[in-house]
């Protein structure tokens, strides 16, 4: 698959890198990555999804080749970027797929812009960011990052998301993407997560949702998944045995199968026709 990206200059003032696949009239799916990743995070999964879908994988502000403003890393900022991106590419309504950090972005977007969201998939989702050891450690680490994080930190961080080995070339790619994220973006994004209340947003969401969780996730406990499922009005929880936080890297085929099943299950007959502005 070609990994050449395009760039979208948004009304929010940032330029974001992205890739797309599928026909112009296809079912729109917008994929949003975790902290320090990029659109490349979905490279293993996208080839396994239906050719009939119009898929966008977007690199968010502060990450990869996208713009890295000094400020603007609260979850509403990321959500506004995603809506502005949809406006730019002419998508009125889409299924959102968020991993890790972007489960918060997807929840914020679906809560604030319900008319733009046909469904939500949360992979490696948090029910709490505030007052957790994980976020306290990440905040402390982010405080030490200068213009760019070091290779040792990037490797340790990416390996901490895994419960099983992944192809070395893809791990190297993920580490290189982490090296693109400057310290101010790390700190701003981590603070934006700490300030966000996932369950509060989840309770405002009417769109159907799927929660996909790896049972060896070192970041998000099982209890978080049950809290989110209880907060969402219509949610299904899928547990993937033996995998960690980056489940779409460890088991891309299984992840793609769950995405295909859930999205096909919620697909409205007229969605593909009415999804475009």
Token look-up 């996730």 returns 217
Q: Strand 94-99 relative to strand 27-32: parallel, antiparallel, unpaired? A: parallel
Q: What is the DSSP letter of 46?
A: G
Query: What are the sequence ranges of the domains in the chain?
Result: 6-270
What's the CA gap between 78 and 64, in Å, rounded? 15
Q: Give 143-192 pLDDT, tens digit per residue.
A: 888 877 888 999 999 999 999 999 999 999 999 999 999 999 999 999 99
| pLDDT digits 0-9 by tens, 100-148 | 999 999 999 999 999 999 999 999 999 999 888 888 888 898 888 887 7
Superfamily of domain 6-270: Alpha/Beta hydrolase fold, catalytic domain (3.40.50.1820)
């Amino acid at each position: 698959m070609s990994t050449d990206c395009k760039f979208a200059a948004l009304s929010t003032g940032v330029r974001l890198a992205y890739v797309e696949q599928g026909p112009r009239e296809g079912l729109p799916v917008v994929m949003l990555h975790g902290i320090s990743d990029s659109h490349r995070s979905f490279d293993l999964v996208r080839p396994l999804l239906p050719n009939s879908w119009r898929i966008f994988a977007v690199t968010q502000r502060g990450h990869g080749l996208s713009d890295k403003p000094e400020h603007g890393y609260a979850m509403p900022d990321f959500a506004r970027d995603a809506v502005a991106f949809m406006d730019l590419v002419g998508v009125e309504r889409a299924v959102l797929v968020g991993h890790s950090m972007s489960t918060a972005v997807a929840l914020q977007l679906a809560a604030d812009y319900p008319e733009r969201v046909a469904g939500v998939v949360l992979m490696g989702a948090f029910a709490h960011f505030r007052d957790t050891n994980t976020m306290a450690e990440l905040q402390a680490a982010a405080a030490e990052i200068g213009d760019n994080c070091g290779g040792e930190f990037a490797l340790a961080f990416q390996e901490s998301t895994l419960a099983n080995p992944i192809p070395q070339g893809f791990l190297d790619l993920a580490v290189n993407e982490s090296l693109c994220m400057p310290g101010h973006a790390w700190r701003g994004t981590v603070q934006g997560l700490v300030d966000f209340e996932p369950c509060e947003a989840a309770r405002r969401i009417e769109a159907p949702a799927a929660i996909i969780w790896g049972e060896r996730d070192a970041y998000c406990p099982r209890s978080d998944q049950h809290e989110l499922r209880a907060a969402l009005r219509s949610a299904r929880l899928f547990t993937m045995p033996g995998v960690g936080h980056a489940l779409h890297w460890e088991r891309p085929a299984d992840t793609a199968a769950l995405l295909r099943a859930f999205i096909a299950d919620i697909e409205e007959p007229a969605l593909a026709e009415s999804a475009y502005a």
